[in-house]
Structure 1
């Protein structure tokens, strides 16, 4: 019977450790300069994946919220990212936009707060000369 207690204790400690690491990762990502909440899904899908995006030099890196990965799940380079449409999106409350994007020929959607959308649009418009066609 004492072996079962140690196994149960090991499982509890492991679960607590994983939850602690996940919470620490999420807090670190959300506090970085240039980070913003950004839910994503493939076009035509119903389920959203919660995430946090961050501006980097010439790209946006996007991490899933509920993951332990130290690397971003997606990286979108400014030269290849296009905003092809937007509309008010009240699923998350007023002041959100459903933003339709295209990257390397693949369509996807982002759920962004209004301020985050305007920041993204400004970031794309600030592209080097000759790349001002990226924003709708």
Structure 2
């Protein structure tokens, strides 16, 4: 068999693998969003360098937690998860410098703090931010609201 046929077979095989990967990403996205909507959510994994360390992903609310999935991963499990009771909203800002090219268009960067004092930076669209703030402020159904007795 001539070399050009080997190269053509290898290119065809590579193209088939890329196509299968793309289909798997689409199926994964459908599976993740079947039990509730997903939204574009970026997470800053390396905050040491200004404007760097952002990874694109998907967010999904699952009960009392916010789950984050990497966008180009095939894993059905979330890469990170934050419990609502352990997350505090600190503020928001517009993307600066290199962040504007690293994030989705029109996204804002929000800063949160966990109970253990760690800072978490997320980026999401304005409508997703409104939903995130509402989710943080709301309590679970049937929550015990301990109020002092009126006198």
TM-score range, shorter chain: 0.7 to 0.9
TM-aligned CA deviation for residue 41 of structure 1: 0.4
Q: Which residue among 13, 16, 22 is the counterpart of 1:13?
A: 16
- Taking structure 1 as the reference length, the TM-score comes to 0.76
Equivalent in the alignment of 2:149: none
Equivalent in the alignment of 1:79: 85
Give structure 2 stretches of 5+ with no counterpart: 146-151
The CA deviation string for residues 41-99 of structure 1, in whole angstroms up to 9 with x for no partner, is 033441321111111111111101011111111111111112222124483545x3210
Alpha-carbon separation, structure 2, partners of 1:115 and 1:86: 14
For the residue of structure 1 that corresponds to 2:88, the secondary structure is strand
Equivalent in the alignment of 1:99: 110
CA RMSD of aligned residues (A): 2.7
TM-aligned CA deviation for residue 101 of structure 1: 1.6
TM-aligned CA deviation for residue 19 of structure 1: 2.1
Q: Which residue among 18, 29, 34 is the counterpart of 2:37?
A: 34
For the residue of structure 1 that corresponds to 2:73, the secondary structure is coil
> Is 1:57 matched up with 2:63?
yes
Higher share in strand: 1
- Answer yes or no: is the 8 Å Cα contact 1:85–1:101 preserved in 2: yes
Q: Which residue among 131, 136, 147 is the counterpart of 1:124?
A: 136
Q: 1:44 to 1:117 in 2, by over 3 A?
A: farther
For the residue of structure 2 that corresponds to 1:38, the secondary structure is strand
Alpha-carbon separation, structure 2, partners of 1:113 and 1:106: 23
Q: Between Structure 1 and Structure 2, how many residues are aligned?
A: 129
Greater C-alpha Rg: 2
